[in-house]
Amino acid sequence: MNLTRKILFVSLIGLSTVLYSCKAKKPIVKTPAPVSKPAAVEEKKAPEPEKKEEEKPMPVEKLNSNLAKVQFEFNSFVLKTASLPILDMAVTEMKKFPDTKFILNGHSSAEGSESHNLSLSVDRANAVKSYFVNAGLNAANFKIVGHGDKMPIASNSTEAGRILNRRTEVQVAN
């Protein structure tokens, strides 16, 4: 019986050693896991670039060249139907830059009096502004300037030239 007690005693010591060592290893295994998780989260946050707004191109060139084609009928500030797709493209570009200020330069051909042409050019610029505002742009971002017939882009001696001079141009304010 003495041998049986020794075997039982050794078995109990071995079993308790195994159980104790298993209990001791569990906290050691759990401790490193949380340490590595925050490090991975920090690494994911670090590479996020904040240069997205700086990389956007300014709309200056596109707006000036495309919007020179916004045309009007003779003695009218009603937009030509052909100008609407041009204005829609401009609205799409302008919405990308909601804080940008613009100048709407209205022009007329040389028919009529100087005061009438000046008034008509202002009305044309306001028609473009109304289109932009109705499309969801901020009215405060637009300044209206009427030039009358003082800045033609073509000769007023031909009908083709006068048609080109009946326009509103958009430029980015400085």
Q: For 36-93, write each residue's pLDDT tens digit.
A: 444 444 444 555 555 444 444 454 444 545 566 788 989 999 999 999 999 999 999 9
Q: CB burial class (10 A; 0-12, 13-18, 19+) of residue 141?
A: middle
Same domain, residue pair 37 and 109: no
Same domain, residue pair 37 and 57: no
Same domain, residue pair 9 and 92: no
The helices-and-strands tally (H runs, E runs) of the chain is 7, 3
pLDDT for residue 19 is more than 80: no
Task: Look up the pTM and report it.
Answer: 0.64
How high is the pLDDT of residue 6?
52
* 166: DSSP letter: S
CA 48 from chain centre, in angstroms, equals 18
Tell me if residue 24 falls in helix, strand or coil. helix
Q: Which domain holds residue 30?
A: 2-45
Six-digit token string for 87: 């204005």
Same domain, residue pair 132 and 57: yes
Same domain, residue pair 59 and 41: no
Quote the number of domains for the chain: 2
Q: Is the CB of residue 114 less than 8 Å from the CB of residue 148?
A: yes
